[in-house]
Amino acid sequence: MYRSAVEQIGEGGINLIKTFWYISRGKINYEEVARQIVTTGIGSLFIASITASFVGLVLTLQISNQLRQFGAEHFIGAIVSSSAIRELGPIISAIVVSGRVGSAVSAEIGSMKSSEQIDALIVFGIDPVRYLIVPRLLASAIITPLLCSLSTFLCIMSGMVLANSAFNLSFDTYLDTVRLVNTTYDVSVMLLKACIFGITIAIVATTTGLQVRGGAEAVGEAATKTVVWNYILIFIFNYFISSYFFRVGYE
Amino acid sequence: MNNFDKNEPIVSFKNVCVAFKNTRVLKDLSFDIYPGEIVTIAGPSGSGKSTILKLLGNIIRMDSGEIVVNASRLGMAFQKSALFNSMTIWKNVALALEETTNLSKKKIRKKVKETLEMVSLSYTENMYPDELSGGMQKRISIARALVVSPEIILYDEPSTGLDPGIASKLEDDMIKLRDKTGVTSIVVTHDVETIKKVSDRVLVLYDGKIKWEGTKNEFITDNSPYPRSFRERCTIEDLLSQT
Ligand SMILES: Nc1ncnc2c1ncn2[C@@H]1O[C@H](COP(=O)(O)OP(=O)(O)O)[C@@H](O)[C@H]1O
Ligand SMILES: [Mg+2]
């Protein structure tokens, strides 16, 4: 277990470096990137929207009850929006992309590996990193921030609707406090975070897929392994990115 | 032992060793293959036949030894065909040319068309691999290997999983192809019918080494346990323990 974890991280790191090397040399099949964005992005829209909206609702519910005790309901917008922008949006989108796209990519590449299609690429002199990882990584690095923006937006909007209907808070008051506490800096960090999560998800998924050895069972295991690894890495990275930008942002 | 022309070998293995985890698969394996011949590497399942082809295809690395290949282009027809199942047959065959050469679109189109005609499957060009029978997939896999005009073609268990009649036709194609293009052909198999039909020369791989080497006729008549085990469809271990 310990050894396989080290191997996994090492191989992922090598794939990441190779991928950036190909990207820096412009070895990008844009058509394939677009195809990946469309096929994976559209599939994730629905889940991301539902998840984000309900997180917004439940967050507003909990926070409003707390704030009301101090007569501070009009700050609901500030708290919901800053939670959404700083933490929830990036995390929700990463979880959706990891579960929906990461597992599918890993199963796709895993089944290519188990049916010798990856070997066939290598014999042709086509590097699977350039041909398979580069477009998937770029697509994931673009899709995740987009889904994150949508998730964050829906989270804030659903909170606004609930705050209005259940606690009689006007849309204007809600939005005023949203504007008050969030800066462009916060939004940039949010997008950067989502982008890093997208890259992580793609590297873990493709590396795990390429490591498949055996038949259908191994492909299924790879998909599961991808999701588990991604959840672990996303939550760890999230803490460190947050704490880094927290310090930098307020110096 | 063989009466094939002893000019420069096109493929030469010298003391090649490969181990996976703790099992040694190839142990100081050495052999030569000469231009234009069809050599069959016969061996029981798990003896390392595919490993040899994967070394030639740069898919895996050896632990020690030396491999010399005097060719710049190599094609491989995989055991499970390994067609790209998300691509049409046309794209499957065209991919290597599109990705690794600077040929114009027009030249690629011509080459792919010719190659598909060579295996008589032009009409499948817009289909996907899973719409084809196993035998047709194998022929496309051969077409895909041929499209780069390789000097060497590797066949991994070409007849496995095919009906005898279809396997026999495929073997005819392999021979015709060599006769027409002079491509050096390395076939790995445990199927005695394939061995008897296509080989100029047979190498028997056992316990990580070439244990027997001879012409097709020698393979059919020799009484050593190595060729006999294939003819009599029993294991080499059984025959070795009888003597
Ligand atoms: N990537 C690998 N990892 C671990 N073991 C392997 C790997 N590839 C092959 N082997 C093992 O090496 C041996 C030879 O395999 P292979 O060359 O596929 O045999 P053959 O093609 O003759 O049936 C088998 O025991 C197989 O399990
Ligand atoms: Mg094999």
pLDDT tens readout for residues B182-229: 999 999 999 999 999 999 999 999 999 999 999 999 999 999 999 999
The pLDDT, as a whole number, for residue A1 is 59
For range B62-66, the mean pLDDT: 96
Q: Give residue B31's Cα distance to chain centre.
A: 15
Contact B138, B162 (CB under 8 A): yes
Cβ(B46) to ligand 1 under 6 A? yes
Q: Kindly list the residues from chain B whose CB atom is less than 8 angstroms away from the CB atom of residue A115.
A: 80, 82, 85
Neighbouring residues of A29: CB distance < 8 A, sequence distance ≥ 6: A131, A134, A135
For range B13-37, the mean pLDDT: 95
- Atom index in ligand 1 nearest the CA of residue B205 equals 22
- Establish if A57 belongs to a structural domain: yes
Mean pLDDT by 10 residues, chain A (251 residues): 79 96 95 94 93 96 90 91 96 96 96 96 95 97 97 97 93 94 94 97 97 93 95 96 86 65
Please report the sign of the dihedral spanned by the C-alpha atoms of residue A146, residue A151, residue A156, residue A160.
positive
Please report the sign of the dihedral spanned by the C-alpha atoms of residue B6, residue B11, residue B16, residue B21.
negative
The pLDDT, as a whole number, for residue B239 is 85
- Establish if B136 belongs to a structural domain: no
Domain count along chain B: 1
Asked whether the predicted pLDDT for residue B5 surpasses 70, the reply is no
Element (H, E) at A182: none
- Establish if B89 belongs to a structural domain: no
Lay out the sheet containing B152-156: strands in order across.
B74-77, B152-156, B184-189, B38-42, B201-206, B209-215
CATH number at residue B26: 3.40.50.300
Across A5-9, A144-148, B76-80, B97-101, least confident range:
A5-9
Cα-Cα-Cα-Cα dihedral of A125, A126, A129, A130, to 10°? 130
A114 C-alpha to ligand 1 centroid (Å): 13
Domain count along chain A: 1
The Cα B156–Cα B43 span in angstroms is: 12
Domain limits at B52? Answer: 1-73+152-161+185-243
Cα-Cα-Cα-Cα dihedral of B63, B23, A212, B62, to 10°? 10
The Cα A40–Cα A135 span in angstroms is: 12
- Establish if B123 belongs to a structural domain: no
Q: Kindly list the residues from chain A whose CB atom is less than 8 angstroms away from the CB atom of residue B53.
A: none
B51 C-alpha to ligand 2 centroid (Å): 7
The pLDDT, as a whole number, for residue B243 is 66
CA nearest to A82, candidates A164, A172, A185, A198: A185
Question: What number of other Cβ atoms are within 10 A of residue B169's Cβ?
Answer: 14
- Establish if B87 belongs to a structural domain: no
- Establish if A180 belongs to a structural domain: yes
Q: Quick one: tokens of B92?
A: 């499957």
Q: Quick one: tokens of B23?
A: 């099992």
The pLDDT, as a whole number, for residue A92 is 96
Query: Which residue in B58, B59, B80 is closest to A115 by CB distance?
Result: B80
DSSP A145-179: HHHHHHHHHHHHHHHHHHHHHHH---HHHHHHHHH
Q: In angstroms, what CA-CA distances link B190 with A195, B197, B242? A: 51, 13, 22
Contact B72, A125 (CB under 8 A): no
The pLDDT, as a whole number, for residue B2 is 44
CA nearest to A163, candidates A174, A153, A172: A174
The Cα B72–Cα B101 span in angstroms is: 13
- Establish if B19 belongs to a structural domain: yes
- Establish if A249 belongs to a structural domain: no
Domain limits at A116? Answer: 2-242
Q: What is the CA radius of gyration of chain A?
A: 20
**HEC string of chain A?**
CHHHHHHHHHHHHHHHHHHHHHHHCCCCCHHHHHHHHHHHHHHHHHHHHHHHHHHHHHHHHHHHHHHHHCCCHHHHHHHHHHHHHHHHHHHHHHHHHHHHHHHHHHHHHHHHHHCCHHHHHHHHCCCHHHHHHHHHHHHHHHHHHHHHHHHHHHHHHHHHHHHHHHHCCCHHHHHHHHHHHCCHHHHHHHHHHHHHHHHHHHHHHHHHHHCCCCCHHHHHHHHHHHHHHHHHHHHHHHHHHHHHHHHHHCC
The pLDDT, as a whole number, for residue B95 is 96
> Which chain B residue has the Cα nearest residue A113?
B82
CA nearest to B187, candidates B202, B206, B176: B202
How many A/B residue pairs have CB atoms within 8 Å?
Answer: 46
Cβ(B22) to ligand 1 under 6 A? no
The Cα B227–Cα B233 span in angstroms is: 10
What DSSP character marks residue A250? Answer: T
Neighbouring residues of A217: CB distance < 8 A, sequence distance ≥ 6: none
The Cα B95–Cα A69 span in angstroms is: 67
- Establish if B62 belongs to a structural domain: yes
- Establish if B156 belongs to a structural domain: yes
Query: Which residue in A115, A125, A131 is closest to B82 by CB distance?
Result: A115
Q: What is the CA radius of gyration of chain B?
A: 18
- Establish if B209 belongs to a structural domain: yes
What DSSP character marks residue B122? Answer: G
- Establish if A251 belongs to a structural domain: no
The Cα A120–Cα B78 span in angstroms is: 8
The pLDDT, as a whole number, for residue B1 is 40
Inform me whether the C-beta atom of residue A216 falls under 8 Å from chain B C-beta atoms.
no
Share of chain B above pLDDT 70, in %: 97
How many Å lie between the alpha carbon of A112 and the closest alpha carbon of chain B?
8
Neighbouring residues of A121: CB distance < 8 A, sequence distance ≥ 6: A127, A128, A131, A132
Cβ(B49) to ligand 1 under 6 A? yes
The Cα A114–Cα A62 span in angstroms is: 48
The pLDDT, as a whole number, for residue A246 is 85
Helix (H, G, I), strand (E, B) or coil at A208: helix
Question: Which residue has the CA at smallest separation from atom 3 of ligand 1?
Answer: B20
Pairing relationship of beta strands B38-42 and B201-206 according to DSSP bridges: parallel
The pLDDT, as a whole number, for residue B6 is 57
The Cα A123–Cα B84 span in angstroms is: 13
ipTM: 0.90
| Token pair 């191994």 in the structure block, residue | A218
The pLDDT, as a whole number, for residue B22 is 85
Contact B243, B223 (CB under 8 A): no
